[in-house]
Structure 1
């Protein structure tokens, strides 16, 4: 198989996870509203599995929350979308080079790849050559014996290269400033606490 694994940048608009999934599954970077609806419907239809203990908030509240285009997705949403598409979703974390695989226990026969920098999700694709147009991207890979073959190594190499260039945000220690009140904050935990306390959600990273 000829080609290279490339990082396809998804706009930073709080819906990057959904749009990255939309791109790798459907070559569509504007699927966030639709995929948020899918997740809300899935969660609402199964309050037993999607309990407050699992979601971190009451089922109904979570459904309203995930439909808000300002809210970010994470592991819960990726596992639901893997089931919705009937494909594994591999999310590579640049900082640790760890790969979290969603849908693996369902033995799906295909896998799509995402890359995560601590705050933002982008799509990974197989491109025939550097600079090739996105319409040539291959984003779905056959799984055989729990692996997608050489693509897996190429993807990991790209993640390691991004790590060596420090293309990630250390969410435990990064410094942020609230864009509303200019308060300086350190790490995701402080930012989340500040957002809860004030309703401010406009943060800028600064060094």
Structure 2
């Protein structure tokens, strides 16, 4: 299939990583709760692998935490979902233009892709042309013997490079946030995490 690389926008509802994976795996942007449960079940079933050092919190605390639809996911969750679906997940970072590949150690024969701007995940796909409905997207790609997926890899990197050129990312070390509960101003991800731990508030908005 020839076409163009497209970025499919996922709603910003604290579950974007899960809904992005739902779309690229199953063409379904409403799988967050189901995939959170998959992750919790996986983690709780192997407390030796998913220990406190690995998770940053106890196994039981993590499982409770990831089921909260206000909590974000990241590398741990992508790694687990890659194994669950038995497909590599390539995660492109707009700021660094780096691609982190989850599941590559398993030599899966298919790959899917997401894009990350520092705060938010969207889905990546190949569309036959501009403005073609999402149902015609190809989101799953065969991995070749050389561990590449063909021309779509180049097209996606060009898309990521253009997003970087436009500075379409958030530097989480310095971005300004306001707590939606108490309206206090915060600088960077570190302060936001500390504020959340102290107050339990997790509703943040970015502001200039």
TM-score range, shorter chain: over 0.9
CA shift at 1:96, angstroms? 0.5
Hey, what does 2:58 align to over in structure 1? 58
Please list every run of 5 or more consecutive structure 1 residues that lacks an aligned counterpart in the other structure.
none
Hey, what does 1:197 align to over in structure 2? 198
Report whether the alignment pairs 1:127 with 2:130: no
Hey, what does 2:178 align to over in structure 1? 177
Report whether the alignment pairs 1:38 with 2:54: no
Distance 1:65 1:178 in 2: 20
TM-score (norm 2): 0.98
TM-score (norm 1): 0.98
Distance 2:179 2:15 in 1: 20
Hey, what does 1:67 align to over in structure 2? 67
User: After alignment, is 5-14 or 192-201 more displaced?
Assistant: 192-201
CA shift at 1:200, angstroms? 1.3
Distance 1:180 1:33 in 2: 24
Distance 1:146 1:173 in 2: 36
CA shift at 1:181, angstroms? 1.6
Total equivalences in the alignment: 207
SS at match of 2:168: coil
Report whether the alignment pairs 1:186 with 2:190: no
CA shift at 1:149, angstroms? 1.2
Give CA deviations for 1:21-74 in whole Å, capped at 9, x if unaligned: 000000000001110111000001000000010000000111111111111010
Give CA deviations for 1:115-153 in whole Å, capped at 9, x if unaligned: 001011000000000110001000000111111111111
Give CA deviations for 1:177-201 in whole Å, capped at 9, x if unaligned: 1122221111000011011111111
SS at match of 2:113: strand
SS at match of 2:122: strand
Report whether the alignment pairs 1:114 with 2:150: no
Hey, what does 2:169 align to over in structure 1? 168
Distance 1:54 1:111 in 2: 25
Please list every run of 5 or more consecutive structure 2 residues that lacks an aligned counterpart in the other structure.
none
The alignment's C-alpha RMSD in Å is 0.7
CA shift at 1:203, angstroms? 1.1
CA shift at 1:2, angstroms? 1.9
